[in-house]
Amino acid sequence: MNGFNAFMERYFMPVAGKLAEQRHLKAVRDGIVAAMPLLIIGSIFLIISSPPIESWETFMEPYAPTLNIPVDATFGMLGLVAVFAISYSLANSYKMDGLSAGVLALAAFMVATPLTEEGDIPLNLMGAEGLFIAIVLAIFTVEVYRFFENRNIVIRMPEGVPPSVWRAFSALIPGAVIIFIVWGVDLLLTSSFDLSLHGIVSAVLRQPLEAMGGSFWGAMIAIILVHLLWSFGIHGISIVASVMAPIWYSLTDQNVAAQQAGEALPHVIGQPFMAIWWAVGGSGMALALTILFVWRARSKHLKGLGRGSIWASFFNISEPVIFGAPIVMNPLLFVPFILAPLAVGIITYFSMSLGIVGKPYVIVPWTTPPPFSGILTTGDWRGGVLMMVNLVVAMFIYYPFFRLYDKKLMEEEETNEQAAASKDV
C-alpha cells in the first residue's frame, strides 16, 4: 500500500492537480453548471408530463404537448447558455471583459449554425446537440480576443467614456476577426464537403466521445478515477466532470427526446446515472458507511462522526465523512471507498440495461435524498427499491473494513484514556 501511495503521489497526483486548476476545463465545468437550474426546472415539467404512474400518465396525455414547451425551452437552450457562460468564465479567469467575450462567442455560435430550408434556426442545434461546438467556439473566441488584447490591437477610448461604450469599441476588432474566421471556415466546409461546422464537430468530437463516455467501461473508469482522486483529498467528481459532463448531458438530452416521443430510452449512462446512482450519500456511497458508524461503531470517534454527519450524508454531502473519518489517505477505508460505488454502478447498469428498472432521464438536484432520487430520475418506483438494495450492498462491502478500522480506533482511544488516567494519578 505504501508503494502504491508513493506511485500515486509521484505520478498521478501532479497530473490530477494540474487538471483541477486548468482554466479551460474549469471554464467548461462552470459554464455547464450555469445551465443546471434550467435543466432541473425542465425536469420538473418532464415529470409532470411523463409521470411514473400509468393512470396519471393517461390523464396527462392531452396536456403533454403544452407541458413539453418549457421542457424544450430549457433542455433546448443548453448549447446556447453554455457558449456564453463558458466564454464568460474563461475570459474572467484571464481578467478580461467576460460580457464582451460571451456576446462574441454567442455570435460566433450563431454564425456557425446552419439554418433550415425554411430559413429558421434549428432548435435541436441550440441544445445538447450543439454543446460540443459551443465549447470549441467559446474557447476559440476568448483565445483570439486575448491575442488581440495582449498585443493592444483594439480600439482604445479616452478616459471618461462610460465602461459600456469602452467595452463595445474594445471588442470591435477582435469580434470582427472572430466572426470572419468562423464564417469563412463554415463557408469553406459547406462548399467543399457539404458539411457545416456543427457537422464536422459532431463527426470528429461528439459522436466518438459519446460512444466512449456512454459505454459501460467508460462509466466504470470514470467512477474509479473519481474515487482515486477523492482518496488523495482532491474533489474527484469536479475534475472528471470537467471533461465528461458535456458527454453525459448530451446523452441525457437524447433520453429526454425519446421520452417525449414515447420511444424506448437509448442510454443508461448520462447525467442522472453519473450524479446520483453510485453516489448515495455522496461519493463512495458514503451514506452506507455513515449508517455503519451510527449503528455498529464502538469507537467514540466514529460513533460521534456518524451521528454528526448522518443528516448531511442523507442529502448526499460526503465531505464530513471523507475528511472526518478520514477516508483520505486511509488504507483501511481506501479499498471499499472505491469498491462500493463500483459494485453499485455495475448492479445499476445491468439492472437498467436488462429492463428490470427504468433508465434515467430526469435531472434532479444532487442533494435529493434516496430513495426519492432513484424514483424521480427513472420515473419508476423500482428505481427507489434498487437504490435501497444498492445501499445494503455497499454496507456489506464496507463492513469488514469498517470493523478493522473501528477496532483500531477503539484500541487507540483506550490507550489514550489509560495514559491520561496514569498522569492524573
The predicted pLDDT at position 156 comes to 78
Q: Of 367, 363, 375, 383, give the one whose Cα is nearest residue 46.
A: 363
Cell digits of residue 237: 467528481
Neighbours of 412 (CB within 10 A): 12
Tens digit of each residue's pLDDT (9 = 90 or more) over 168-210:
788 889 999 999 999 999 899 888 888 888 888 878 877 787 7
Match 481578467 to its residue by C-alpha cell: 95
pLDDT band at 259 (very low <50, low <70, confident <90, very high): confident
Question: Which stretch of 2-11, 53-62, 230-239, 295-304 has the lowest confidence by average pLDDT?
Answer: 2-11
The predicted pLDDT at position 253 comes to 85
d(CA 384, CA 390): 10
Question: Which stretch of 81-90, 242-251, 354-363 has the lowest confidence by average pLDDT?
Answer: 242-251
Q: Give the distance from CA 246 to its chain's centroid.
A: 8
Residues contacting 370, CB < 8 A, separation 6+? 280, 281, 287, 384, 387, 388, 391
The predicted pLDDT at position 355 comes to 92
Q: Of 40, 87, 27, give the one whose Cα is nearest residue 242.
A: 27
Return the DSSP state at 9: I
**Which pTM does this prediction carry?**
0.77
The predicted pLDDT at position 356 comes to 94
Q: Give the distance from CA 4 to its chain's centroid.
A: 28
Q: Of 185, 150, 145, 136, give the one whose Cα is nearest residue 31.
A: 136
pLDDT band at 108 (very low <50, low <70, confident <90, very high): very high
Cell digits of residue 216: 459501460
Tens digit of each residue's pLDDT (9 = 90 or more) over 264-297:
899 999 989 988 898 898 888 999 999 999 999 9
Q: Could you tell me if 222 and 271 are in contact, meaning their C-beta atoms sit under 8 angstroms apart? A: no
The predicted pLDDT at position 160 comes to 72
The predicted pLDDT at position 118 comes to 80
d(CA 105, CA 28): 13
The full DSSP string for 340-385 is HHHHHHHHHHHHHHTTSSPPP-----TTPPTTHHHHHHHT-HHHHH
- Residue 72 in this model has a pLDDT that exceeds 70: yes
- Residue 321 in this model has a pLDDT that exceeds 90: no
Mean pLDDT to the nearest integer, 402-416: 88
Q: Could you tell me if 111 and 183 are in contact, meaning their C-beta atoms sit under 8 angstroms apart? A: yes
Mean pLDDT to the nearest integer, 387-395: 95
Q: Could you tell me if 371 and 348 are in contact, meaning their C-beta atoms sit under 8 angstroms apart? A: no
What is the end-to-end Cα distance of the chain in Å, rounded?
41
d(CA 316, CA 172): 47
Q: Could you tell me if 322 and 334 are in contact, meaning their C-beta atoms sit under 8 angstroms apart? A: no
